Every structure is written in structure tokens, then in C-alpha cells.
Amino acid sequence: MPTTPTSLVTLTDPRSPMAEAYRTLRTNLLFSSLDRPLATLLVTSPAPEEGKSTTLANLAVTLAQGGRPTILVDCDLRRPRLHEIFGVPAEPGLSNALLAKVDEPPLAATGVENLSLLPAGAVPPSPADLLGSRRMEALIATLKSRADFVLFDAPPVIAVTDAALLASKLDGVLLVVSAGHTRRDDAQRAKDLLEKIHVHLVGAVLTNAAVDRRLTAY
């Protein structure tokens, strides 16, 4: 089922417990990176349909609302969703920029002050090759020079190698798991895969929990 703009609870219902939970997540990430700067962050999940894109979008909104210039990058070149969440065209985007070797990333306005989005673009034949390329490294450097935070949405870590390839180029990884959906062994396998490549796993977010603790970060 496609994600809709109503997923942005930080905009549609900013006083709700859910929106406050996203602000708590923002605070936890900012304080966790005091000793180790966290300018680039990858968000992924063990398997599909666990809420990673919605979590990332709302986290990005809270960072932007806090006055920090933020760029969202949709690196899920297999099932991109961020353009749907923010209601912008899917193209041009990341894949177009990498394949055409452009100097200026085609950033889209999100309607949120301090927040820009680089959509996924056209679905390429080999997403992993693009994300692991030197052109991707150059693009990351360009985006870092233009914002305080650059947040990347990647495919589920167990399904394909995309997330692992990209994670090795970034400051940290946030793993999203869903209550009642994510299998315990899948979560452990995802954690083990990320630790095996020696990336900085900053923590995990639990979505789809009971109303009084619907979003938890640790």
C-alpha cells in the first residue's frame, strides 16, 4: 500500500504523542553523536514494510524544524517511497544524477523549511553498482557541503547488498524494526550483517508499538 503524505505526523499532528516521539528520536541521535559527529545517516530495516521510509521522513522534518538544514536522499532504488510521502515527482533524482554525471544534484523542495529531497529517480538496472560507485561518494561529499544533515533511505539490509554498500560510506546506521511484524531472527541477522562490515550502528527504532510507546529509540 503506497505511503501517503498523511504519514508525516510531525506536520499534520505536531502535538501528538507520535510527533513528540520523533522529536525524542531526534534528541537521542543528536546527543549520541556528541563524541562522534553524525552528519550522514543511513536508515534501513531488516525486511520490507517495517516503516523505515516513514520514520526517516518524520525524523528529517524534526531536524529541519529545529533549524538544521537537512537533505533527504532516496537510495531505495528498488521501491522508492520518499517522493510519494512529500508529493514530488520521482524524476529527476539520484539515479539520473549518477548516470548523467551531473554536478548539480536535482534537489526537490518539500514544502518544509530547511528540508530538501533528492528523489530516487529512474529505477536503474543495477542499483548496487550505482550506490557502491565513486560517483556516489562524490555526490555524498557534495550533499554534505550543503546541509548539516544528510539522511539516506536504503532498501532492507537482508534482502539486497545496497544498504551495506552505502553504509560503509556514511557516519552511522539506524535500524527500523516493527512490533508484531519484524521477526526476531531477522532483526538479529540484520544487526550481525551491519556489524560484520564495521559500520557505526547508532541504534534501533521500534515502530507499530502500542499507542503509549508507539515509537521507541535506543
**Rg (Cα) of the chain, in Å, rounded?**
16
- The predicted model scores a pTM of 0.90
Predicted local confidence at residue 95, as pLDDT = 95
Label residue 2 by pLDDT band (50, 70, 90): very low
Predicted local confidence at residue 212, as pLDDT = 52
Domains of the chain: 38-217 (3.40.50.300)
CA distances 187 to 21, 102, 158, 204, Å, are 22, 37, 9, 10
Return phi, psi of residue 74, to 5°: -90, 100
pLDDT in tens, 167-218: 999 999 999 999 888 889 999 999 999 989 989 999 999 888 765 544 544 4
pLDDT in tens, 82-139: 999 999 999 999 999 999 877 789 999 999 999 999 999 998 889 999 999 999 999 9
Grid cell in block for residue 48? 520490507
Q: Averaged over 125-154, what is the pLDDT?
A: 94
Label residue 5 by pLDDT band (50, 70, 90): low
Confidence check: pLDDT of 166 > 90: yes
> For every residue of 4-60, which 3-state class applies, written as one string?
CHHHCHHHHCCCCHHHHHHHHHHHHHHHHCCCCCCCEEEEECCCCCCCHHHHHHHHH
Predicted local confidence at residue 211, as pLDDT = 57
